[in-house]
Chains A and B, each alone.
Chain A
Amino acid sequence: MSVDTTLPVLTPDDFASDQDVRWCPGCGDYSILKQMKVALAAIGVPREQTVFVSGIGCSSRFPYYMNTYGIHSIHGRAPAVATGLKVSRPELSVWVITGDGDALSIGGNHLMHAIRRNLDINIILFNNRIYGLTKGQYSPTSVLGQVTKSTPMGVVDNPLSPLSVAIGCEATFVARSVDVYAKHLVDTLQRAAAHKGTSFVEVYQNCSVFNDGAWDYATDKSSKSDTVLELTHGKPLIFGANKDKGIRLNGTLPEVVTLGQGVREDDLLFHDAHTPEPTLAYLLSRMRQPDFPEPIGVFRDVQAPCYEDGIARQIDDARQARGPGDLQRLFASGETWTVE
């Protein structure tokens, strides 16, 4: 007798739900949705083992469009919802879909704690630097001076860097990609899924209605080789159309240098995604346009214990030490007396 143990091969289309996708024409979310389906088909986790959890915002409609299990929750709370799910069902593949407002404003606290606990979940933050669903107010990543509906005289709050926040919480996997970098995004999502622990991925995402072109410098073919630097573990930080520019450390500060002219590849900063110390990843997360090219790819990828495993282990340890829970024995513990 032979048993077929091979998993059914899924295609990206198998992950599409029967719901109409209702994002604005030109929204970057379409591409992310598409690349997610491609990535999941390649990863091969069954649909029924996969759960998407989101908060509130345009991006948070994502679960409805996936033929997996899903929870579209409330503003900012998706990491907490995912925590309860992952702790009680560690075998599930849990994805948090969130936006810059959802994750960093109203949900900042939950995001911070999910990351520091290092649950084995994947948090994908769509960053369009604006509140889209509520029609155009500034977000925690909006740039200084940006004029929006709620800031007619310009934004005066300093923007947050999502990756700096995540690395500050010592996230064990941190990466960045761009909505229209199809192949790069699929690859990044796959690597996030492969990571055991919280993976935090920022995706630059265009809002065609309220903040169109916010990432033009990263997507424009004519400029992107100078404004974006692709990180590769073990390789020097080189960028530019002719691959002739690099990042060098000057003391503790990065500086842009041109190769040749007395600067050799070996003088450049080399990327190390696996160093336990988050300092390098943090430094990279601080590199911003227009002074520096903005890194994409995996900033940090290290191993650390996961929260849900810790909880499960304590249950195992308690059972080893005291045996499985016995209600009768528990109830009769301590001082008791008998009435005849």
Chain B
Amino acid sequence: MATTTGPSKSVVELSSATVRFCGDSGDGMQLAGSQMTLTSALVGNDVATFPDFPAEIRAPRGKKFGVSGFQIHFASKDIYTPGDQVDALVAMNPAALVTNLTDLVPGGVLIVNADEFNKNNLRLAECATNPLEDNSLANYQLFSVDMTRLTRAAVEDLGLGVKESDRCRNFFAMGLVFWLYDRPLEPTLRYIDDKFGKKPAIAEANRRALTAGYNYGETTDAFVSQYRVEKAKLPAGKYKNITGNQATAYGLLAAANRSGCELFFAGYPITPASDILHELSRHKNFGVRTFQAEDEIAAVTSLIGAAYGGAMAVTASSGPGIALKAEGAALAVMTELPLIIINVQRGGPSTGLPTKTEQADLLQAMFGRNGECPLAILAPRSPADCFEIVQEAWEIAVNFMTPVMVLSDGYLANGSEPWRIPDVSTLSKIAVEHPPGPQNGSLFYPYLRNEKLARPWAIPGTPGLMHRIGGIEKQDKTGSISYDPKNHQHMVDTRANKIAGIAQHLPLQTVDGPERGRLLVLSWGGTYGACQTAVRDALERGLSVAHCHLRYLNPLPRNLGEILRSYDRVLVPELNRGQLRLLVRSEFLVDCQGLNKVQGKPFTVKELSRQIDQMLG
């Protein structure tokens, strides 16, 4: 850690920092966090974020359950998580302070809006005494700032009401944090122009509050040093910051473009999946047809019609909605149509924890349909990977004529990271074949299979290929209704073999770390970053450990069994009670130990490190 002396205050160089803004939902904490993220990305840091907010749109003010937070980790090195602990915490009121303080590192920067620490708010936060006065914060660098008063003063001659003035406090807090971490104000000033251009007084108030916060840090004697995090060494290219849901939408547009299919997207609003519908709805000039269906069932069954017609049909939902889509998904399996079902998993069961993350829908994806009903399952490992995974999903769907389920989660969906913008001209085509009319008067067999066991994707409008599909068992080749016992066995086996056969076309599984050793950490989906960080950290400490992260969950990679048997022990960390572990144990007869957490929160690196150390101890 190097210390330099700036014009007025010392500057401390850091390799990474984690900041969290928290306040009432409605205080603009998500905005503050995303502006901080964007600015950090623009100055060249690697970033990872974790927005965390209550399910209530405007929870009662001042209460602990109404606290909304946004955490951002920015660094001059590669990072994979939004950070376990917070180096600087901004708490806009007592409730925000008491619910977040445990995550602040000892000696960390604690900025509070002192004006909100009044009797009423202390009561609402269930504080017996005022933490700003009772010495309970002695272990932190406490900066008690009269943000409300200072913000009002900064905007006082603009003719705004008290409510409107106070709404600018998040910009004051941002300005202060921007100063603390030596971030430029320009991107946020541009944002203000863009967002509030039509309301000049509001725009000016936000500009002034932001600048006032920044100047407060610069001038007040309270802050003696500023921090600086240098640019990260990311691969060369053009970048933007992207959330998992946005990357999913972009990936769908790219897949449609690569395959030459018209994108039909049907959805029913549900947290945390709705943003995919919102994003796609904005891009109608790409020819996207978005359909806000009357319910989840209509959303998935409309895909059957669209896919039969030759469209790239996609829906996105979350656990409870996926439960409703089960019968439609089964019809897609039975009719062997290509479509994509995205599950942005959240805390369950039932309505569960709508805004919190979980990985507990893997078994639902595997088995949550009647009958022998396999489909392909993929899971992205990071926000930017959502872009890749949906394109892979579409490639598998059209190659094998199968629905593909993509298991994203709330953590990936709302979290963000830098995304290297691809050169679109280098994206390969995804080959899609619709058979032309019958050749030489030959009969058309709608269930005749190719070497991948896929049936032909014949579409209405093609003369001579008229055929009927449906949910009742079909005779092999002809597609006529069949109740013949042997045919049913044959068709069930064929559908299963088709999905199993996908493995032959997937890349071999790789591991990060030694190819054999004492411990393998086996993970899937959104826990990638925490597992990767913990394993690399353990490797640096000389431990015999490797990391195997799965993106393909059904079928599993064909060399996975061999990998599992190359280590003495296997640890499967999951944000559920052991779903992948169950599958892996039954598939490979390899014992695995679980690290399981269902708290609506992602793993911290520390939790994983502790487990690794314990198993190798």
A contacts, CB < 8 Å to B: 17-19, 46-53, 56, 63-64, 66-74, 77, 80-89, 91-92, 109-110, 112-113, 311, 314-315, 317-319, 321-325, 327-328, 330-332, 334-340
Does B212 make an interface contact (CB < 8 A)?
A: no
A53 in contact with B305 (CB, 8 Å): yes
**Contact at A48–B462, with CB atoms within 8 Å?**
yes
Number of interface residues of B (CB under 8 A): 72
List 28 contacting pairs A-B, 8 Å CB cutoff, sorted by A.
A17-B468, A48-B460, A48-B461, A64-B480, A71-B335, A72-B469, A80-B293, A80-B302, A81-B301, A83-B302, A84-B306, A85-B306, A109-B298, A318-B283, A318-B284, A319-B284, A325-B253, A325-B257, A327-B254, A328-B425, A331-B422, A331-B424, A335-B187, A335-B190, A336-B238, A336-B421, A337-B239, A339-B231
CA distance A203 to B297 in the complex (A): 27
Which among B37-45, B163-171, B221-229, B542-550 touches the partner chain? B37-45
Contact A77 B291 (CB under 8 A): no
Q: Which residues of B contact A77 (CB under 8 A)?
A: 297-298, 301, 328
Which B-chain residue is minimally distant from A331 (CB atoms)? B421
Q: How far is the CB of A254 from chain B (nearest CB, A)?
A: 33
C-alpha gap A241/B57 in the complex (Å): 66
Chain B residues numbered 220-256 whose CB sits less than 8 Å from any CB in chain A:
231, 234-241, 250, 253-254
User: When the two chains form their complex, are residues B240 and A336 in contact, meaning their CB atoms are under 8 A apart?
Assistant: yes
* Chain B residues whose CB sits within 8 angstroms of the CB of A87 once the complex forms: 264, 289, 291, 302, 306
Bound-state Cα–Cα, A69 to B465, Å: 8
CA distance A295 to B295 in the complex (A): 34
Instruction: Please judge, given known A-B contacts A80-B298, A83-B291, whether A339 and B236 are in contact too, CB under 8 Å.
Output: yes
Complex contacts, B463 vs chain A, CB 8 Å:
46, 48
Nearest CB of chain B from residue A52's CB, rounded to whole Å: 8
Q: How far is the CB of B535 from chain A (nearest CB, A)?
A: 26
Task: Please name all residues of chain B whose beta carbon is closer than 8 Å to the beta carbon of A63 when the two chains form the complex.
Answer: 468, 470
| Alpha-carbon distance A338/B236, docked complex (angstroms) | 7
Shortest Cβ gap from B316 to chain A (Å): 15
- Evaluate contact between B301 and A336: CB separation under 8 angstroms: no
When chains A and B are docked, how far (Å) is the Cα of A327 from the Cα of B424?
A: 7
A74 with B331: CB separation less than 8 A: yes
Stretch in B307-315, B503-511, B608-616 with 4+ CB within 8 Å of A = B307-315
- Which residues in A have their C-beta under 8 angstroms from that of B424? 327-328, 331
Instruction: Report A245 CB to chain B, min CB distance, Å.
Output: 42
> B285's closest neighbor in chain A, by CB?
A318
Q: Are B308 and A85 in contact (CB under 8 A)?
A: yes
Task: Give chain B's interface secondary structure class.
Answer: mixed
Q: How far is the CA of A327 from the CA of B294 in the complex (A)?
A: 30
Complex-state Cα separation, A319 to B460, whole angstroms: 27
**B293 — which chain A residues lie within 8 A by C-beta?**
80, 83, 113
Which residue of chain B is the closest to A18 with respect to CB atoms? B480
Interface membership of B72, Cβ < 8 A: no
Say whether B42 contacts A68, CB under 8 Å: no
- Complex Cα distance, B377 from A9, in Å, reads 48
- B257 close to A327 (CB less than 8 A): yes
Q: Which residue of B lies closest to A314 (CB)?
A: B284
Contact yes or no, A339 B468, CB < 8 A: no
Q: Indicate if the CB atoms of B237 and A113 lie closer than 8 Å.
A: no
B285–A322 touching, CB < 8 Å: yes
Quick one: which of B187, B264, B309, B467 contacts A92, CB cutoff 8 A? Answer: B309
A73 to B465, CA, bound (A): 19
Bound Cα distance A82, B467 (Å): 16
Complex CA–CA separation, A240 to B423 (angstroms): 76
Known: A48-B460, A49-B461. A335 touches B309 (CB 8 A): no
Q: Which of B264, B285, B287, B462 has the most chain A CB atoms inside 10 A of its CB?
A: B285
Closest B residue to A339 by beta carbon equals B234
Cβ contact within 8 Å between B310 and A88: yes
Which of B293, B310, B421, B460 gathers the greatest number of chain A CB atoms within 10 Å? B460
